[in-house]
Structure 1
Amino acid sequence: MGEQLPDWQSKVLKDNQLSAQYLVGARKWYNPVADLLAEHQNSAGRALLVAVNGSQGSGKSTLCDYLCAYLEAEHQLSCLALSLDDFYLTAPQRRQLAIDVHPLFATRGVPGTHDMGLLSRTLDSLLAGEATRIPRFDKAIDDRVPEADWEQVEAGVQIVLLEGWCLGASSQPIDALVTPVNSLESLEDEDGRWRNYVNAVLSEKFSPLYQRVDEWLMLQAPSFDCVFRWRLEQEQKLARRRQGEGLMDEAQIGRFIQHYQRLTEHCLQCLPPRVNHLFRLDVDRTVQSYSLNPGVRV
């Protein structure tokens, strides 16, 4: 691009291992949405909760990082990005869930493997404008970091961006759970106990969270077929940061994403007409179009 970038833009590119080309699309598609969020926050006069849905590897974390940096630089708003991933149950808690309910719950990811109480308490504090300790999950060790190492956020956050691959997913009709969607479900959840438990958690624990959200954004993948390649690229990026530590190989990723397939496809089918801001992606994660639906609610 050949231009001198503001410090915040340079930092976004460096932190997310991106070329300057990313800014071309970000300025076109994301800046106007950030301006609308700022306008909403100013008129509301309180902290806003913005939820971001997107399949694995679709760019949710990068989008939230960009939006936060833009809102702080251009609108002087205090903004915080949270990931649903940081609220996974600890490894021992998931192992116990695997014993008590189903072995597949040893693997993080689906509803049922999150500490929704911790998430609710964290949001309570942030949205009340209080100083808050933010939990972090280390995927390289597959466990939550010790509480002493949690991030301390100062009081006065005005916009909270919460991103997660299954945010916005609703429970499915029981009949829809009968037929397995992949070999993981057919071979390792033959009686449907795992997916029925996930479905119940969506209804009981995620629906109350959705009622708190002020605005919904979605990065819509073309199909679930993209997720394997995107997730592999995500894992390779993580490995570069960790000097190879915690890297899953292609076979492991292939099995891993089967845990996500049912709800990812459900979101791709059902969520687009129910979000406020819809970004449609191509196979290279480039935004192709945008739709604004100001009055809808997930």
Structure 2
Amino acid sequence: MEVRIAVFSSSTAALLLETICAISFESLIFNCNIFAAGSGSSWLQNSSFASGIEYRKRPLYSVFPTKPAQVSSVEDLYQFICSGPLLDKIGLTQEQVAESIDNWLLYGRYLCRLFQLNELYLTEPQKARIYHYYVPVFLWCEQQIAEHQSKFKDGEEIPPLVIGFSAPQGCGKTTLVFALDYLFEVIGRKSATVSIDDFYLTAEGQTKLREANPGNALLEYRGNAGSHDLALSVETLTALTKMTREGVKMKLPRYDKSAFSGRGDRADPSTWPEVEGPLKVVLFEGWMLGFKPLPVEAVKDVDPQLEIVNKNLEAYYDAWDKYIKSWIVIKIKDPNCVFQWRLQAEIGMREAGNPGMTDEEVRDFVSRYLPAYYAYLPTLYSEGPNGSDPQRLLTIEIDEGRNPILAS
């Protein structure tokens, strides 16, 4: 049934007026600090508007304006939201969107401020990224948190919900997680973000791994199963799930990908960010989260070097996946997209003055991940992540521009 909105609440009108005033004022006091990166990417640099939130360089791909767009009315925006590919997936009807339009406007405004966009002059790609992707995923996460908390009795300590994000490298999962973390912050939910990258072995550990597997290109550098400190993973995730009380603090490990000319090393613990309880949600992202070990012959048919990687993968469920209660899987049609996306990221690092890999080094680096993608993605997409509940799984298919599309 088609639903049209003729009149919006007075609070919606007031919010829109407040937005107009806020954006006009902010445009005078903020510098954009946006630097163009290669292949149509843009990069956000540190800025005071994100104070209180750990702020790394984050790509927001293909969403910054090349020319002004027309101002959208609230009704037009409503119709645009209802045309999004994720609405049915997250279980929202057009009527429910109409009832919650104030929240959609508010969350959209927060994200525009975060990414320094003018909410009144969004291009179509910008609107799609915010209202067809980030806000719907945030609302789904809120649903998952509410369902998780409902399982506990009054007075019980409720552990934070761990939401896993399994998505190929370069597809924009880090930016998505950053946006979600920011929205949780502004609505008053304490959250923490961790990546499987944060659990890579140290540079010394990587050297030992390479020496223990001579001639295996898949274990020569970081990336595949076997190159992670699983003990650190268990220690960190266990501690995070126990952060249920006020004032409890812990530091989160971080990894410096720019060290050793892009080969990477664990960051100095003195630089690790600190989080404070009580946490409501943990956002855990990684390119190989949820991968399931396969029969030996199946992986050897893809690449004989995968046999030891597949064996290593058997330990990853207990180290990672068992902590995750809700899952978001970002699906791609062609793993070869990873090369172009990774290349864009490295170009951005180099143009920002940070060490990064050359184009040829990127090609070599990505080639060490592709066998795992070809081996494990089909099962991930057909069966879901290892140990996942189909009722707590959101699969989002994206195109080469990293925007969600209707599943084929």
TM-score range, shorter chain: 0.7 to 0.9
Residue 166 of structure 2 corresponds to residue 42 of structure 1:
no
| Matched position secondary structure for 1:166 | coil
In 2, the alpha carbon distance for the partners of 1:10 and 1:53 equals: 27
Residue in 2 that maps onto 1:147: 269
| Cα distance in 2, alignment partners of residues 47 and 253 from structure 1 | 37
Once the 2 structures are TM-superposed, how far is the Cα of residue 215 of structure 1 from its aligned partner? 0.5
- Structure 2 CA distance for partners of 1:290 and 1:61, relative to 1, 3 Å: farther
Q: Following the alignment from structure 1 to structure 2, what is the Cα–Cα distance between the partners of residues 66 and 35?
A: 14
How far, CA to CA, are the matches of 1:239 and 1:29 in structure 2? 33
1:11 matched to which residue of 2? 114
Aligned AA for 1:113? Answer: S
Mapping for residues 88-167 of structure 1, pairs under 5 Å: 88-102=200-214, 104=217, 105-129=219-243, 130-141=248-259, 142-167=264-289
Query: 1:25/1:168 Cα in 2 relative to 1: closer, same or farther (>3 Å)?
Result: same
C-alpha contact 1:110 1:260 (8 A) present in aligned 2:
yes
Q: Shift in Å at residue 7 of structure 1?
A: 5.0
1:244-283 alignment runs, 5 A limit: 245-273=354-382, 274=384, 276-283=393-400
Task: Encode CA deviations 1:231-265: one digit per residue, 9 max, x unaligned.
Answer: 11122223344x1x322222211111111112222
SS for the counterpart of 1:234 is helix
Length-normalised TM-score, structure 2 = 0.62
Which residue is equivalent to 1:64? 177
Question: What letter is aligned with 1:222?
Answer: K
**Residue 163 of structure 1: SS of its match in structure 2?**
strand
Percent identity between matched residues is 24
Q: Which amino acid aligns with 1:177?
A: V
Return the alpha-carbon distance in structure 2 between the equivalents of residues 279 and 10 of structure 1: 25
What count of residue pairs does the alignment treat as equivalent?
A: 273
User: In 2, Cα distance between the equivalents of 1:157 and 1:28?
Assistant: 21
Deviation at 1:205, TM superposition (A): 3.1
1:95–1:253 CA distance, 2 compared to 1 (3 A)? same
User: Residues 237, 37 of structure 1: CA spacing in aligned structure 2 closer, same or farther, 3 A cutoff?
Assistant: farther
SS of structure 2 residue aligned to 1:271: helix
Moved more, 144-153 or 264-273: 264-273
SS in 2 for 1:211: helix
Instruction: From 339, 342, 346, give the equivalent of 1:228.
Output: 339
* Structure 1 residue 126 displacement after superposition: 0.9
Following TM superposition, by how much is the alpha carbon of 1:12 offset from its aligned partner in structure 2, in angstroms?
4.7
Alpha-carbon offset, residue 73 of structure 1: 2.6
2:32 alignment partner in structure 1: none
In structure 1, the residue corresponding to 2:320 is in which secondary structure?
Answer: helix
* Larger-gyration structure (1/2): 2
Whether the 8 Å contact between 1:54 and 1:220 is mirrored in structure 2 is: yes
The 5 A counterparts of 1:163-178 are 163-178=285-300
1:270 and 1:96 map into 2 onto residues whose CA distance is 31
Structure 2: give runs of 5+ residues left out of the alignment: 1-18, 24-107, 118-124, 152-157, 386-392
Taking a change above 3 Å as real, the CA distance of residues 256 and 20 of structure 1, as seen in their structure-2 partners, is same
Alpha-carbon separation, structure 1, partners of 2:250 and 2:115: 24
| Cα separation, 1, equivalents of 2:116 and 2:289 | 26
The structure with higher relative contact order (CA 8 Å, sep 6+) is 1
| TM-score normalized by the length of structure 1 | 0.83
Q: CA deviation at 1:28?
A: 5.4
Please report the RMSD computed on the Cα atoms of aligned residues, expressed in angstroms. 2.5
Shift of 1:72: 2.9
CA contact (8 A) 1:223 1:268 kept: no
CA-to-aligned-CA distance 1:102-158 (integer Å, 9 cap, x gap): 353331111111111101101111110042111111111011112222222112222
Residue in structure 2 matched with residue 87 of structure 1 by the alignment? 199
- Cα separation, 1, equivalents of 2:366 and 2:134: 31
Q: Is 140-149 or 43-52 further displaced after alignment?
A: 43-52
Cα deviation per residue 1:195-249 (whole Å; 9 max; x = unaligned)? 22211111123355212210011111121121111111122223344x1x32222
Q: CA deviation at 1:59?
A: 1.0
| Stretches of structure 1 lacking an aligned partner (at least 5 in a row) | 182-191, 292-298
Provide the C-alpha distance between the structure 2 equivalents of 1:136 and 1:146, rounded to a whole number of angstroms: 8
